[in-house]
Amino acid sequence: MKRNMLLTLIACIAVSAVAEGNNPFGDKRITTWGDQGNGTYVNPILNADYSDPDAIRVGDKYYMVASDFHFMGMQVLESEDLVNWTLISKVYDRIDFPEYEKNERYAGGSWAPALRYHNGKFYVYFCTPKEGLFMSEATDPRGPWTPLHNVVNVAGWEDPCPFWDEDGQAYLGRSKVGAGPIIIHKMSEDGRTLLDEGVTVYTGPVAEGTKIHKHEGYYYLSIPEGGVERGWQTILRSKNIYGPYEKKVVLEKGMTDINGPHQGSIVDTPEGEWWFLHFQQYNSIGRVVHLQPMHWRDGWPVIGVDQDMNGIGEPVLTWRKPDWKQGLGKLPVHSDEFSTSELGLQWQFNHNPVDGEWSLTEKKGWLTLNALQSDAFWFAKNSITQKSMGYQGEFTVKMDFSELIDGNHAGLACMGRINHQIGVRKVNGKVHVYMGNDFENIKISEPVKGKTIYLKLHLDGISQNYSFSYSTDNKTFIPFGDSFEMNFGHWKGVRPALFCYNTEAKGGKVHFDWARYDILEHKIVTF
């Protein structure tokens, strides 16, 4: 217990140091999370919703993918030190099934992907719960990635991982929706075809998230068990890929407050060190990424620190960095001036985009969203969104609503289990600021004049209370409506979104000049 309290104290001191040492805005805006600038890091290293992370090393660089569910499409991240990550590409832009065209696959889409490198190619595999197993490949992780290949069109599969053995034989491990059992298939060398019905190699308590490794003659299956909030990390090993497998629990919550430390990836460094990446579900933010030290003992991974001396590791809050590069601290991109011909990589469409109904060139320097017919935000096309960043923050947009027509709703949404919106609506030729959710319009202003408005979302993932405000001059912001509670929902954390739709018929449009995200420092470490 004393050791854990010491680690917590160190983490709190480190967080305070990064705010004062790297940030010209004092205790307000921050530019890094885990990296403390002194050769140490604090968890989470990625304080955003990158659930079910899988990472690999190729040469001296690290690459990561994570579940994106119904948001398009899977982001690829790159790092030089396993602590600081940047977005470099997306694997796909759409999933070509009718339900993704109609916004009817909330909580569907990509579940627990695996990223691997084999014979000069990068491979990504994932399952959707209704449509089956998909894969894509690229010679460069920055893309282009090949169009999604539906390896097997089947319902009820999840969490696949490919593996190429030393003799060239390829395999694929996976589980079933509902978690377990663990099944291994033979696969064609090109990774595009399964060659058999699979062999069940393990049945355990909510076993899922299979990752296959080989080390010093043993096959290792790294699997999370027990569920997200109360689970642990299990390692299975065997001299034969089909087993029988020995079992060892290698990471658990133990004396810490880090719930469900599991579902991740084992990675080595060029220097021969080993590390483990996993997620923790934290409030409305979602599933944030932690980094744990790892080493081998008697042929088994040892992850974290065994604080209670029961033979099972526990997650650390702070540790030395795998590779300290002075001044490397950075965050994934999160603001956009819409000044280029491409959207920033942080943006993801809610379900499939409608090409031709949004533009970065129609009004140069602005993002244009055309209004398609929808009865509500839930089904609205062309809504673009990004992950919430950190414990607290402010997300602000500048919007030109001069081309709205009757029936239009446009503005800034806060997406979660229940979605909330602030925006403008046009009724009988008059424009009003409104606040609403999935069920009702909560507040409507008197008619507003002009053509430009500034909308702001205040995010607080600690209290899970969120609020809106607006301004006509970007100086004085007027709180609008009461604060509202946001919760994790549809397997995803809370996120801001830009939208424009028409409840009457297709028509009208809105323009966004910029979207700026100020990530605020948290004063305490809350694990």
Helix (H) or strand (E) holding 329: none
- Rg of the chain taking only CA atoms, in angstroms: 23
Give one DSSP letter per residue of 408-421, joined into a string: EEEEEEEESSS-EE
> Looking only at Cα atoms, what is the longest distance across the chain?
75
Identify residue 346 by its one-letter amino acid code: Q
Nearest-angstrom CA–CA distance, 385 and 30: 21
Nearest-angstrom CA–CA distance, 221 and 67: 20
**Which residues participate in catalysis according to the annotation?**
52, 208
Residue 443 per-residue DSSP state: E
Q: For 459-478, b where at least 16 C-beta lie within 10 A, e where not — what string?
A: bbbbebebbbbbbeeeeebe
Give one DSSP letter per residue of 68-109, joined into a string: -BTEE--EEEEESSSSSEEEEEES-S---SHHHHTT--TT-S
Residue 190 per-residue DSSP state: T
Nearest-angstrom CA–CA distance, 184 and 171: 7
Nearest-angstrom CA–CA distance, 99 and 84: 36
Beta-carbon contacts of residue 16 (< 8 Å; ≥ 6 apart): none
> What does each C-alpha distance from 70 to 94, 99, 156, 386 come to in angstroms?
10, 10, 16, 12
Could you give the 3-state DSSP secondary structure of residue 140?
coil
Nearest-angstrom CA–CA distance, 333 and 512: 18
Q: For 156-170, b where at least 16 C-beta lie within 10 A, e where not — what string?
A: ebbbbbbbbeeeeeb
Q: Are strands 495-502 and 408-415 parallel, antiparallel or unpaired?
A: antiparallel
Residues in the chain, total: 527
Nearest-angstrom CA–CA distance, 28 and 526: 18
- Sheet containing 262-268, strands listed edge to edge, beginning at the edge strand earlier in sequence: 262-268, 274-282, 286-297, 300-303
Q: How many CB atoms lie within 10 A of CB 197?
A: 8
Both tokens of 457, joined, read 């979302």
Both tokens of 76, joined, read 């690829």
